[in-house]
């Protein structure tokens, strides 16, 4: 078996194993209701983290507007579900359609923003993606859609007045947001997550993915061997946006009230933290980091107000410990010192001594 394939299978196994074990634990009631409630958001955040890892880790471009694509997916998917709530009846079919439509809408936004913006690089690209996220949030905050017997009413930046009050259903009401049907369940999240994970693994392993990594490692060298830099950057950007859109659809169907305020730049940064701490370009790292970092503040809930303080300190210490050259040297020195080597030799037997001639 190829090493990469084996690696990917392990990642899939870890992800699936986590959800199966904790799903069973939550069904049997061993896990408290508070922790059980975390499983769906964790799944959604893993999808977001692995999709952002495509932009940041594989393509090597910093994006601070990932929440914007999630917002597009959440709103488009949610609006679709509310409008078709009575016409498309098996809810699973409606949800699948919503996922497809939300993902496509986010992909279109990714393409629209990607064509002009991918001329930029580095920090300039980062700030434009941040701006994009804020724009999407502000627009979502000002959209009013409602339904009555005459059809749909649409309004921007002002609430709807010319509507038949008796048959009125609000679809989305500006800052008050929307209430999409609760169609997301854990099994759906896990299925979508596994599909996204496998799709991303295949993408990274493909010719396109390798081209993206070549661009990341050396832009000019990639150009000079004939890689169409703009095309591959755009493909990766759009795929990443589409998957974030799908996560957004799952999100909007999993909470009772969706407001656009949620999709601010803090959310984008939170996802970025998952990706960077998990390791750039490593899908398995993103999965594990998301599970740990998302659950951590919830587990320490009894610490109350101190938990976010501890989270911040842990974050800083982890970054310094993992990246500072002096700490890396220190770790190597400890690893090479005599007592540690002795302990290691107890656990890891050297091959030539294990099958020795004696």
Partner 1 sequence: MMSFVSYLVNGISLGSIYALIALGYTMVYGIAKMLNFAHGDIIMVGGFTVFTAMSTAWCPVWLSVVIGIVVCTVLGVVIEKVAYKPLRSAPPLAVLITAIGVSYLLQNLALLIFGSAAQNFTSIVAGMPPFLTVLDGQAPLFFATAPSGSKAILTISMETFLSIVVSLVIMIALTLFINKTKAGKAMLAVAEDKGAAQLMGINVNGTISLTFAIGSALAAAASVLMCSSYPQISPYTGSMPGIKAFVAAVFGGIGSIPGAMIGGVLLGVIEQLSKAYISSQLSDAIVFLVLIIVLVVRPTGILGKKINEKV
Nearer to partner 1, 27 or 328 (CB): 328
Task: Give me 325's structure tokens.
Answer: 């050259």
Task: Give me 172's structure tokens.
Answer: 């989305």
Nearer to partner 1, 138 or 187 (CB): 138
Task: Give me 139's structure tokens.
Answer: 């627009």
**Burial class of residue 21 in the structure, from the number of CB atoms within 10 Å of its CB (0-12 exposed, 13-18 middle, 19+ buried):** exposed
- Any contact of residue 272 with partner 1 (CB under 8 A)? yes
Q: Which of residues 137-196 bind partner 1 (CB under 8 A)?
A: 138-139, 141-142, 157
3-state helix, strand, coil in the chain (%, to 5): 75, 5, 20
Task: Give me 232's structure tokens.
Answer: 């591959």
Task: Give me 231's structure tokens.
Answer: 């095309």
- Any contact of residue 126 with partner 1 (CB under 8 A)? yes
Closest separation in Å from C-beta 280 to partner 1? 7
- Any contact of residue 226 with partner 1 (CB under 8 A)? no
What does residue 89 show for φ and ψ, rounded to 5 degrees? -95, -45
Closest separation in Å from C-beta 234 to partner 1? 15
Q: Which of 70, 128, 190, 227 binds partner 1 (CB under 8 A)?
A: 128
Nearest-CA neighbor of 244 among 225, 271, 280? 271
Nearer to partner 1, 138 or 334 (CB): 138
Only segment of 19-27, 74-82, 84-92, 220-228 that touches partner 1 (CB under 8 A): 220-228
Q: First vs last Cα of the chain: how many Å apart?
A: 34
Q: Are 102 and 33 in contact (CB under 8 A)?
A: no
Only segment of 85-93, 159-167, 196-204, 261-269 that touches partner 1 (CB under 8 A): 261-269
Task: Give me 332's structure tokens.
Answer: 């190597």
Nearer to partner 1, 141 or 240 (CB): 141
Strands (E), the chain: 143-148, 151-156, 169-173
Q: Which of residues 39-58 bind partner 1 (CB under 8 A)?
A: 56
Binding site for partner 1 (CB under 8 A): 56, 62, 116-117, 119-120, 123-124, 126-128, 130-132, 134-135, 138-139, 141-142, 157, 219-221, 224, 265-266, 269, 272-273, 276-277, 280, 305-306, 308-309, 311-313, 315-316, 319-320, 322-327
């Amino acid at each position: 078996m190829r090493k990469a394939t084996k690696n990917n299978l392990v990642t899939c196994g870890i992800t699936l194993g986590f959800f199966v074990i904790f799903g069973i634990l939550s069904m049997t009631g061993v896990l408290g209701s508070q922790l059980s409630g975390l499983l769906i958001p964790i799944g959604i955040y893993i999808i977001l983290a692995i999709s952002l890892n495509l932009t940041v880790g594989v393509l090597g471009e910093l994006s601070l507007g990932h929440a914007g694509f999630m917002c597009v997916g959440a709103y488009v998917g949610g609006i679709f579900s509310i409008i078709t709530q009575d016409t498309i009846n098996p809810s699973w079919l409606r949800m699948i359609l919503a996922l497809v439509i939300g993902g496509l809408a986010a992909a279109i936004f990714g393409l629209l923003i990607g064509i002009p913006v991918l001329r930029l690089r580095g920090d300039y690209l980062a700030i434009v993606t941040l701006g994009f996220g804020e724009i999407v949030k502000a627009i979502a905050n000002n959209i009013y859609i409602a339904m009555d017997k005459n059809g749909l009413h649409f309004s921007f930046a002002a609430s709807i007045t010319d509507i038949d009050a008796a048959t009125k259903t609000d679809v989305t009401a500006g800052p008050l947001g929307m209430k999409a049907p609760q169609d997301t369940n854990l099994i759906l999240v896990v299925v979508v997550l596994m599909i996204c994970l496998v799709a991303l693994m295949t993408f990274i392993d493909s010719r396109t993915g390798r081209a993206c990594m070549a661009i990341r490692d050396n832009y000019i060298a990639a150009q000079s061997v004939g890689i169409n830099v703009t095309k591959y950057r755009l493909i990766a950007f759009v795929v990443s946006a589409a998957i974030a859109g799908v996560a957004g659809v799952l999100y909007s169907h999993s909470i009772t009230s969706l407001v656009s305020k949620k999709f601010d730049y803090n959310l984008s940064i939170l996802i970025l933290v998952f990706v960077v701490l998990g390791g750039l370009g490593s899908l398995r790292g993103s999965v594990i980091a998301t599970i740990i970092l998302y659950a951590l503040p919830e587990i320490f809930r009894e610490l109350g107000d101190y938990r976010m303080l501890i989270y911040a300190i842990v974050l800083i210490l982890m970054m310094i410990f993992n990246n500072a050259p002096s700490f890396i040297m220190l770790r190597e020195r400890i690893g090479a010192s005599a007592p540690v080597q002795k302990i290691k030799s107890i656990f890891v037997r050297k091959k030539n001594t294990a099958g020795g001639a004696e």
